[in-house]
Amino acid sequence: MKQLIQHFRTGQLELVTTVHPMVSSQTLIVAARRSLISVGTEKMLLDFGKASYISKAKQQPDRLKEVFDKIKTEGFIDTAQKVWNKINEPIPLGYSHVGVIIEKGNRVDQFEVGQRVVSNGPHAEIVQVPWTLAAPVPDSVSDDEAAFTVPGSICLEGIRLLNPTIGETFVVIGLGLLGQITTQILQANGCRVIAFDLVKEKVDLARAQGVEAVLSRTSKENIEYVMGLTNGMGTDGVIITASTTSEQLLSECALISRKRGRIVLVGVVPITVPRNLFYEKELSFQVSSAYGPGRYDPTYESGQDYPFPYVRWTAKRNMEAFLFLLEQKKIHVSHLITDRFPFEQVLDAYELIDKENPVGILLEYSVKGKEESTVQIIAESSLKHVESDKLKLGFIGAGNFAKAVLLPALQKLNAPLEMISSSNGLSANLAARKFKIARATSDRATILKDESINAVFIVTRHNTHAALVAEALQNDKHVFVEKPLALTLDELKTVYKALQNNPNRQLMVGFNRRFAPFVQELKNILIDRSDPVSVLMTINAGNIPMDHWVHDPVMGGGRIIGEACHFIDLARFLTGSAIRGVSAVTTNGHSGNDEDKTMILLTFSDGSQAAIHYLANGNSRFPKERIEVFSSQRIFQIDNFKKLKGFGSPLKKYAITQDKGHLSELKAFLDSVTGKTDTPIPAEEIFEVHLATLAVLQSITERQFISMESMWKNLRDSS
C-alpha cells in the first residue's frame, strides 16, 4: 500500500510503499475512499519543514529552552545527536480519512466490517485507527462530505468552548477551511456571524452562505465596522481560525468584544494577551485543542472511552455530531471542494497549495482491499556477510528509543538484522530503509514464527513485553527485551516458566548501565574489597505528565517498574551480592504523582546496602544520575556517566560524550548468542531484580520491609 510522509528536516514530501497496518484489539483497519487535505494546517507543516534550523528554533522557543537545559546536563554532542535524530524522523500527513472497515479488533463491538467510517487516519490507502477516533458515516452523507468531518469537529470543539446561545453575535477571524465551517455551524445555532479575511475569494465564498463577510483592513477600520453593526456594544464572542504572526490580533479581538465577551483560539497566533483590555472588560480567553476531549490522551486513543454522563462531547462524539449536521443539511461543504486529485498524484496536490490558494482538496482512492502479504522486501539480505547458522536477528518495535539508540548501535556492530516490525507498518518501513534491514512487516508474529530468525529484540510498550518474551522463547529464540521484563508477578511467572522450558535460550534485559565504561571500571576496583559497601544513587528523574502512557498501570506499569528497575540492577551489579530485602517510602499527598518520588533501601546478603532516591520533583539543571559508592574509606562518584572521581583515591576520569553502556550491552548479548561468551546477565539476577522491583511497590503499599525470600517463594511456587 502507499502512504504520504513528510521529511521533517527538509519539508520534502514522499509517497512511500509500505506494508499495510495490523489490527489490534481496540483498532479498526480501514481501506480508503477519500481523505481531505486541510490546506491551512498542512501548509503550516510544509512551511515549518522547509524553514531553516534557526527559523524552526524561533518558532518553538519552549523546545529550544529544553535543548539548552539538556546541553547543560548531558553535553553538546549528546544533545545534538538527539536533536538530529528527532528532526530526521519523517512524519505522516493527513488527519481526515473516509473509508470502509476491512478488519476490526476483537474488543471492538461498536463497528462492523464493511461499514463506512470517517476517522483521523492519515493520507494512506489503508489505515489503522482506534475506534474512539472513528465515527460511522450515515447513508445519506457522501464520501466527499464525510471527508470534512475531522476539520468540522475541530470547529465544533472551538464553538463549544465559545458556548453560543440563540441570537448572539460572533466574529470569525480567518475564512480558510476552518473559518468557513465555523461560520455555518454558528449560523445553524441561531447566531449572527461577522467574518473577516484578507483574501477576496474566501470572503465571497462565505457571503454565498449568507455570512456578513468583509475584507479585513486596518485594525481601526475592522473595529469600527464591528462596533457599527453591534450598535456600539461589541460582539458577544470572537473565534480565531486564522494563522498569523501578528501580535496585535488579540488586542483587536478584545476591542471588538463586549464586556464579559468570550474569545476562543482555534488557529495559530502569538498569545500576547493585553491584560488591561481583558481586565477592564473581564474577557475570557481559551485555546481549543484539536477535535475534543480524548485527542492526545494515550488511554483514550488506545480504546478507552470517557464515560458519557461525565464527558458528553469527546472527540468521537464531536465527529458524530458534525456528521449529524451534514445528514440534516444544516451545513454544506460541497462548495468548499476546490480541487480533486487521485491519491497517486498527491504530490501535485501539495504543489497546488504553494502556487494557489485553495480551500479544500480531496484525494480519491481506488483501494481493492487488504493486501495478502504483511512483509515488504526493503534491502538486500544482510546474511550474505555473516555466518548464517549463528546469528539471524528480528526486531519487534520501531519507536523513538529503538531508532535513536538500539538500531544505530546494532548498525555500528554490523549486526545481521533480517526483519523489523511495527503495528502500523510505516515505522517499520522507515526504520528498515534507514538501517538497511532486509524486511519490514506489520505482523510481529511473522518474526516470532520465522524459523530462519534465531534471536529477537523486543522494544515495544511495557505491557506487551512478558507475553512476547514467553512466545519468543517457546519458538526457540534468544531474546533481548528492553526493561521491564514484566509488569506483574503473574507475568513474571509466565516468563520464568517459558525459560525453564527452554533453558538453552539466552534471555537478556536491557539493563545497559552495568555495561557503562565508568561502571565497569568501578566494578573492577570493588572486586578486591573485604568489607560491605554502601551505594547511594540520586536519580533526578524529571517530571512526566500524568497523562503519559508510562503512568498507566496497565500499559506502562508506572515509573518504578518502568525505570527504577535500572538502578536496582545497577546496585545489584556493583555489590555483586544477592538482594536480601527491600524497603521503600514515597511522598504522601503530592500534587502530582507520589510513586515517582520514592526512596528505596536495599539490603544484600554480604551486608552491603544501597539507597536509591528516585525523584521526579527536581530541576533539569541538576545532573540526572549521580552514583556514589562508599568503600574502605574511599568514595567513588559517577556523575551523569560523564565523570568518574575518587575521594581517598587518585581516580579521576572524564568523558566527552555520555556512555550509558548501550553499545557494550548489545555486543555482550550478540557474543553470548554466538557462543563467544557466557550469558551477560545470569537469568537468576534478571528475575531477582524484577522481584525486588515488585517488592518496592509492595513495601510502599504495606509500609513494611519485604523479604526477597518470600518474593522468590511466590515466583517458584506456581511456576
Domain range for 52 is 2-140+323-364
Residues 115, 192, single domain; the answer is no
Say whether both 535 and 497 belong to one domain: no
688 and 570 housed in the same domain: yes
Q: Which residue, 690, 355, 271, is CA-closest to 489?
A: 690
**562: which DSSP letter?**
I
Q: What's the mean pLDDT in 467-477? A: 97
Residues 118 and 218 in one domain: no
Tens digit of each residue's pLDDT (9 = 90 or more) over 118-156 = 999 999 999 999 999 999 999 999 999 999 999 999 999
Is 316 a member of any domain?
Answer: no
Tell me the average pLDDT across 293-302.
89
Answer whether residue 5 shows pLDDT above 70. Answer: yes
Please compute the mean of the pLDDT values over residues 40-67 and round it to a whole number.
62
Q: Is the pLDDT of residue 633 over 50?
A: yes
Tens of pLDDT, residue by residue over 193-204, are 999 999 999 999
**Residue 103 belongs to a domain:** yes
Checking if the pLDDT of 214 tops 80, the result is yes
Q: Given pLDDT bands bounded at 50, 70 and 90, which one contains residue 548? A: confident
Compute the half-sphere exposure of residue 180: CA atoms within 13 Å on the CB side of its CA: 26
Listed residue (352, 366, 325) closest to 37, CA to CA: 352
Q: Is residue 598 part of a domain?
A: yes
Per DSSP, helices labelled H in 60-148 are 61-74, 76-87, 143-146
Confidence of residue 221 (pLDDT cuts 50, 70, 90): very high
Q: Please identify, among 311, 331, 364, the residue that sits at the C-terminal boundary of a domain.
A: 364
The answer on 658 and 530 residing in a single domain is yes
Asked if residue 294 belongs to a domain, the reply is: no
Residue 387: per-residue pLDDT: 47
66 band by pLDDT with thresholds 50, 70 and 90: low
What pLDDT does residue 69 have?
61
Residue 639 pLDDT class (50, 70, 90 cuts): very high
25 with 63, same domain: the answer is: yes
Given this model, what pLDDT does residue 664 score? Answer: 97
Rounded to an integer, what distance in angstroms lies between the CA atom of residue 409 and that of residue 644?
A: 24
pLDDT, tens digit, for every residue of 330-351?
Answer: 999 999 999 999 999 999 999 8
Name the CA dihedral angle for 151, 110, 370, 423, rounded to a multiple of 10 degrees: 80
Average pLDDT over residues 150-173: 97
Please check whether residues 258 and 271 belong to one and the same domain. yes
Long-range contacts of residues 339-343, Cβ cutoff 8 Å, at least 24 apart: 340/364, 342/366, 343/2, 343/32, 343/35, 343/123, 343/125
Q: Residue 406: is its pLDDT beyond 90?
A: yes
Q: Please report whether residue 308 resides in a domain.
A: no
Q: Return d(Cα 578, Cα 628) in angstroms, integer.
A: 19
Q: Do both 489 and 599 map to the same domain?
A: no
pLDDT tens per residue, range 492-519: 999 999 999 999 999 999 999 999 999 9
Q: Find the CATH number of the domain harbouring 278.
A: 3.40.50.720
| CATH code assigned at 675 | 3.30.360.10
Together in a domain, 205 and 106: no
Cα separation of 89 and 9, whole Å? 8
On whether both 155 and 268 belong to a single domain, the answer is yes
Confidence of residue 289 (pLDDT cuts 50, 70, 90): confident
Q: Is residue 303 part of a domain?
A: no
Residue 318 lies in a domain: no
With a cut of 60, say whether residue 382 has pLDDT above it: no
Residue 90 has pLDDT above 90, yes or no: no
636 and 521 co-located in one domain: yes
Query: Does any domain span residue 369?
Result: no
Number of domains in the chain: 4
73-87, 194-208, 222-236: least confident range: 73-87
**In percent, how much of the chain has pLDDT > 90?**
77
Checking if the pLDDT of 623 tops 90, the result is no
On whether both 186 and 51 belong to a single domain, the answer is no
